[in-house]
A and B are shown apart, each in its own frame.
Chain A
Amino acid sequence: MTAVLRTEDLCKRFGGIVVSDSVNLTIDRGEILGLIGPNGAGKTSLFNLISGVLRPDSGSIYLNGEAIDAAALYRRARLGIARTWQNMLLFRTMTVLENLLIAPRSYPGESILRVAFTHRAVRTAERLARDRAMTTLARMGLEQTANDMVVDLPFGQQKLIGLARTLMNDGPVLLLDEPMAGVEGAAYETMQRVVREEAESGRAVCLVEHNVSFIRDLCSRAVFMANGKILRDGTVEELIASDALTELYFGV
């Protein structure tokens, strides 16, 4: 089995609202899985459960066969679960480059002791991170924005930076929460290309999107969620063709 990430009977409720109802999801190496469904279906909540923002009421999550339920949010990121946010959550008072430099999975420069005692290692790590950050920016055609304040960039570029920051975590899993929302034109093309490249290099990618053409272009497989449950799992064409699902999605 090449399932990099697997959830098993994941359940979560808030008071009377069930956001996850026995969710069983698998994401394979090199695949781009689409997660679609109406608002409030529990898609972002599922991302929150997988990345560790939320604790499930019951159920388990496995990364490369190992259960990661005990790991806290920051530890799951170090294990390699990288995600983007609907609100981007970019670091407002920092430049583009600085935003990216926060993101690699291990950073000796952030430990006081290591700064004090292994100065040269810290400097090397800084240099390597800087190179990787510039390379990532170049992939998106945004190297020239490196020293701009991230809040000064247009919306589409900010979204790309958000993606770039997440990519600095070179772990096996990539969760993208509505990366295309509000993005069009060149930024759209770039994002498509980058996501495809990531999958091709072996990452397991899962993305939540409302943009059906994006899903259709990129995803080989998709999962339809509503009311916290996975209703259908299949190819994008199958899902789109289903009348019942279309009604759920577009119906009142």
Chain B
Amino acid sequence: MEYLATIGVLIAIYVILSSSYNLVIGYGGLSTVAHPIFFAIGAYTAGLLAIHSSLPAPCNVLLGGVAAMIASVLLAASALRVSGDYLLIASLGFQLGLLQLIKNLDFTGGPGGLTAIPGTVTGAARTPFFLVVSGLLAVATVVGIRAIVNGPYGRAITAMRDEELAFTALGRDATSMKIVIFAIGCGIAGIAGGVYAYYFQYISPDQFEVLQSAAILTMVVLGGMGTTFGPVVGAILLLAIPQAITFLNLPPGIMAPTQGIIFTVLVLAFLFLRPAGIVGLARKTL
């Protein structure tokens, strides 16, 4: 039961991460791989505040989101000054560099990670509580993003993706818009990080490696970029598949790379054969 509930919380968190990532790359058309680091910034900010301050938990989680948002604005503003394509490399560098910093600083717990993050709710109510909170946040994220991309703002984002030059020549500040989208997506990831920190009460740098961005990317590509429910489908699938594999009882040295192979093959297959993703496909057949 506890185990299933943890999976539930993880699914909710990954739905939040993949939906917000989809906002940035699928709708906004921005090339970035830095999503896990904003997740990390949120988690570490919330975790450190929980340990060292007496602010209430929701406040810390929110501050985690704010910290992630500020960092993302700094990154985007400097990278987009050069060009849109530059953001890809800049985000990679930012992701790796900041993670390295976290590994080397003492107050973040170093490579061992941050432990003993104080709990909030305790006892039997804990698991259902977190399940509800993360579930609600996931729903809010999906609904919120859907609201953003429908209506005039979504129209503007689509136009920017279609023909940025014409869009700009019609009086729209494309760079500001990109920064705003990036900030929103990364801020949401930061909040997910805060929840993650509070639930597991332990975070470490290797939970936020570049390979995580590959995992989130897989969810988005598989599910369908630029669709509302694609990332949701992707998140559920990508968390369900490893669970299915564990039932095969393979030795751990084989299991991890096998999972990796299955994911990467799926992404490559979809990339070449069905770039629209699962949800994109379903749309066409409806």
Contact = CB atoms under 8 A, between A and B. Distances in A.
Interface in B110-156: 148, 151-153, 155-156
A91 B156 contact: no
B262 interface: no
Contact of B171 (A77, A91, A94): A77
Given A109-B153, A115-B151, A93 B168 contact: no
Among A51, A89, A126, A165: residue with most chain B CB under 10 A: A89
B163 A53 contact: no
Contacts of B174: 74
Interface residues of A, number: 32
Contacts of B211: none
B128 to A, nearest CB: 32
Nearest to B181: A112
A52 B165 CA distance: 11
A115 B153 contact: yes
Interface string B162-177: 1101111111111001
A126 B152 contact: yes
Contacts of A98: 155, 159
B259 interface: no
A94 B162 CA distance: 9
A51 B159 contact: no
Classify the interface of chain B: helix, strand, loop or mixed. helix
Nearest to B167: A102
A122 interface: yes
A243 to B, nearest CB: 38
Interface in A103-141: 103, 105-107, 109-110, 112, 115, 122, 126
A194 interface: no
A103 B162 contact: no
A204 to B, nearest CB: 17
Interface residues of B, number: 23
A90 interface: yes
A91 B159 contact: yes
B166 A85 contact: yes
Contacts of B201: none
A101 interface: yes
A78 interface: yes
Contacts of A13: none
B169 A94 contact: no
B31 interface: no
Contacts of A110: 152-153, 156, 172, 177
B224 to A, nearest CB: 15
Nearest to B147: A115
Among B170, B173, B180: residue with most chain A CB under 10 A: B170
B153 A78 contact: no
A107 B152 contact: yes
Contacts of B169: 51-53, 73-74, 77, 83, 85
Contacts of A83: 169
A73 B169 CA distance: 6
A62 B124 CA distance: 72
A101 B166 CA distance: 13
A92 interface: yes
B212 interface: no
B162 A93 contact: yes
B6 interface: no
A60 interface: no
Contacts of B173: 74
Interface in B150-205: 151-153, 155-156, 158-159, 162-163, 165-174, 177, 180, 184
B153 A91 contact: no
B168 A73 contact: yes
Contacts of B153: 109-110, 112, 115
Nearest to B151: A109
13 contacts: A74-B171, A74-B173, A77-B168, A77-B169, A89-B163, A102-B167, A102-B172, A110-B172, A110-B177, A115-B151, A115-B152, A122-B152, A169-B171
Nearest 7 pairs of A and B residues by beta carbon: A109-B152, A77-B171, A89-B166, A91-B162, A78-B171, A110-B156, A89-B163
Interface of A: 51-53, 73-75, 77-78, 83, 85, 89-94, 98-99, 101-103, 105-107, 109-110, 112, 115, 122, 126, 165, 169
